[in-house]
Amino acid sequence: MNDNTRGIVFMTLAMATMLCSDTVVKAIARDMPLFQIIFIRHIFMTAGLAVLAIRDGAYRIRPTRRQARLLSMRTFAECGVTSFYMLALISMPMGAATAIFQLQPLAVTLAAALFLAQPIGPRRLIAIAIGFSGVLLIARPGTEAFGPGSVWVLLAVVCVCLRDLSTRVLGTELPASTLATVGSVAILLLSLSVMLLRGDWVPVSAAQLGLIFCGACFLLVGYLAMVLAVRIGDIAVISPFRYVSLVFGILYGFVFFGEEPEPLMIVGALIIVATGVYTFLRERRVREAAGAGRP
């Protein structure tokens, strides 16, 4: 098995396990407040990520003011991604939420062009517009299919843009484990604050605690698998395999919640995936052409 094949395996594993964590949250949210679930999950997550951050020497890092500002922006966006996407997940079918969330690569490409002055050609603009039409097929504004869940997941996509843009500006100045740990701590504090304000803590059974722990483990395994995939495989080969999360989202929704995907949702999801893959491949060709033109 070569490096790219191993990278594909790790990326597929990352998508499968992260969606397993989402499935656990959606299942338990029937009997427990959402932010209580997030709080308990991120106790486990923060502990696991802290071990990785210490291993990477996070305790020796002294961020500059610029790094601190960017890290604060990224952390704020990370809280938004988790909160809005989890709210979407319990408000709409899992497959639909996962499908709309696949808009994120297209949205990040457009945001990078607008705010980081990264070049974007007419072909990629057309692909992004077509991708947004796929979202409209799934969400269908103005019909009964359009609800709060669609708004939540679109807000999560906006937060993904802010998170990824601040991460790009930071570059490799801070280890990925440090960024993840800071984000997890912030989500932990946010969920605790929401619980204290709402006062909606409910007793947790041993079975529920065990499920949340498993969900945290799935999420941590997904994070590690994604890091390994990026380190081992060629980015151009493995990145399109992020879209297998759509398959797992629809599959888990059907198996665990009896959610049957509608034909329009399938068509919209395929449009988003196709335009996302095209945009990624187009960006790679542009980078290769630019590299070949350098002296």
pLDDT tens digits along 95-130: 889 988 988 888 888 888 888 777 777 887 888 888
Write the DSSP string, 27-82. HHTTTS-HHHHHHHHHHHHHHHHHHHHHHTTGGG----HHHHHHHHHHHHHHHHHH
Burial class (CB in 10 A: 0-12, 13-18, 19+), 285: exposed
Residue 26: predicted pLDDT = 94
> pTM score, two decimals?
0.87
| Paired tokens of 151 | 């708004």
CA distance linking residue 232 with residue 2, whole number of Å: 9
Tens of pLDDT along the chain (295 residues) come to 678 788 889 989 999 999 999 999 999 999 999 999 999 999 999 999 999 889 888 778 888 888 899 999 999 999 999 999 999 999 989 988 998 898 888 888 888 888 877 777 788 788 888 888 888 888 777 665 578 888 999 999 999 999 988 988 887 778 888 889 999 999 999 999 999 999 888 999 999 999 999 999 999 999 989 888 877 877 667 777 888 888 899 999 999 999 888 888 888 888 888 887 887 777 777 666 666 555 4
Compute CA 230 distance to the chain's CA centroid, rounded to the nearest angstrom: 15
CA distance linking residue 54 with residue 222, whole number of Å: 19
Tokens 């630019």 sit on residue: 290
For residue 268, the one-letter residue type is: G
Residue pLDDT, tens place only, 135-157: 888 877 766 557 888 899 999 99
Write the DSSP string, the chain. --HHHHHHHHHHHHHHHHHHHHHHHHHHTTTS-HHHHHHHHHHHHHHHHHHHHHHTTGGG----HHHHHHHHHHHHHHHHHHHHHHHHHTTS-HHHHHHHHTTHHHHHHHHHHHHS-----HHHHHHHHHHHHHHHHHH-TTSTT--HHHHHHHHHHHHHHHHHHHHHHHTTSS-HHHHHHHHHHHHHHHHHHHHHHHT------HHHHHHHHHHHHHHHHHHHHHHHHHHHS-HHHHGGGGGHHHHHHHHHHHHHH-PPPPHHHHHHHHHHHHHHHHHHHHHHHHHHHHHHT--
